[in-house]
């Protein structure tokens, strides 16, 4: 759990939170769900892609309105702890991964009022720490009112190669960089600010956006300098744009702390 969660990371009216990017989506979703449960809220965790098997038994749902009362019974009268559930469509028998809901099903959930918070893992990265989305990604429901774009700090300063990057050729093309170039402030700023970058497919305002750089527990001052530089580049490129107003945070889900990049 992230005990010092900034207000911007946990907006009271952010009822549907989509997590995109790479470098800690599942761990951040778990931490934010725990935070919500601690506040007495009802929580649904789900995905529109695939999710690794969880320690709690998932609930399977066909995405239909007629079966919503069954979910309500699970949340209010079932054996699930702390009024929460991991909700998915099915399980892949070959990999064990949980198969996600259609975005329209998440919208149906959001409109039903079953949960105070719905956290959606809306992107896949195969364990890498940074990515640029493909044509079909990310899969963000229309009802989303907060999109958190995630990057792993272990991507900063390293070459754009398969070891670190999911589909490095896409990231290089998006950032107008050589495929073997390092992930520097210019690359990160381009990823955040480009319409086809980190926040691709995010709903228009009033949906808000937030950058979160995870795994900063082992990063030195050079990494903080890189983040501040990237933030300034985004502001300079889009002084009046929505992406300029996007707050940037960095921290460690593992250690449970977050700091503002602007205020660091």
Q: Could you tell me the residue ranges of all domains in the chain? A: 16-260
Question: What is the CA angle 208-236-230, rounded to 5?
Answer: 75
Residue 168 CB burial class (10 angstroms; 0-12, 13-18, ≥19): buried
Q: What is the pLDDT of residue 239?
A: 64
- pLDDT value of position 134: 92
pLDDT of residue 180: 80
What was the pLDDT predicted at 29? 93
The tens place of each residue's pLDDT in the chain, 264 residues long, gives 576 677 777 777 899 999 999 999 999 999 999 888 888 899 999 999 998 887 678 999 999 998 999 888 877 754 445 588 999 999 998 888 999 999 999 999 999 999 999 999 999 888 899 999 999 999 999 999 999 999 999 999 999 988 889 999 999 999 988 878 899 999 999 999 999 999 999 999 889 999 999 999 989 999 999 999 999 999 888 766 655 568 999 999 999 999 999 865
Please provide the distance, in angstroms rounded to a whole number, between the alpha carbons at the two ends of the chain.
Answer: 21
| Rounded alpha-carbon distances, angstroms, from residue 113 to 37, 116, 133, 186, 204 | 16, 7, 31, 42, 22
pLDDT of residue 80: 47
What is residue 53's predicted lDDT score, i.e. its pLDDT?
A: 81
Entry pTM: 0.93
Burial (0-12, 13-18, 19+ Cβ within 10 Å), 189: buried
- For the domain spanning 16-260, the CATH number is 3.40.50
Q: What is the DSSP letter of 135?
A: T
């Amino acid at each position: 759990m992230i005990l010092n969660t900034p207000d911007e990371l946990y907006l009271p009216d952010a009822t549907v939170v989509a997590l995109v990017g790479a470098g800690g989506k599942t761990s951040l979703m778990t931490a934010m769900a725990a935070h919500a449960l601690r506040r007495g809220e009802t929580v649904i965790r789900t995905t529109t892609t695939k999710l690794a098997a969880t320690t709690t038994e998932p609930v399977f749902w066909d995405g239909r309105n007629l079966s919503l009362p069954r979910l309500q019974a699970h949340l209010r009268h079932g054996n699930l702890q702390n009024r929460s559930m991991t909700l998915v469509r099915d399980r892949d028998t070959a990999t064990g991964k949980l198969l996600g809901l259609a975005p329209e099903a998440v919208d149906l959930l959001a409109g039903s009022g079953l949960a105070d918070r719905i956290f959606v893992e809306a992107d896949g990265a195969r364990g890498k720490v940074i990515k640029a989305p493909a044509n079909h990604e990310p899969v963000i429901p229309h009802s989303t009112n907060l999109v958190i774009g995630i990057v792993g700090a272990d991507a900063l300063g390293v070459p754009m190669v398969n070891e670190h990057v999911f589909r490095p050729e896409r990231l290089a093309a998006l950032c107008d960089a050589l495929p073997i170039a390092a992930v520097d402030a210019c690359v990160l700023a381009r990823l955040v600010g480009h319409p086809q970058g980190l926040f691709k497919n995010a709903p228009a305002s009033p949906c808000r956006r937030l950058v979160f750089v995870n795994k900063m527990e082992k990063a030195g001052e050079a990494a903080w300098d890189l983040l501040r530089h990237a933030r300034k580049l985004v502001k300079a490129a889009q002084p009046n744009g929505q992406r300029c107003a996007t707050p940037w945070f960095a921290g460690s889900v593992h250690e449970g702390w977050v700091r503002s990049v602007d205020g660091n």
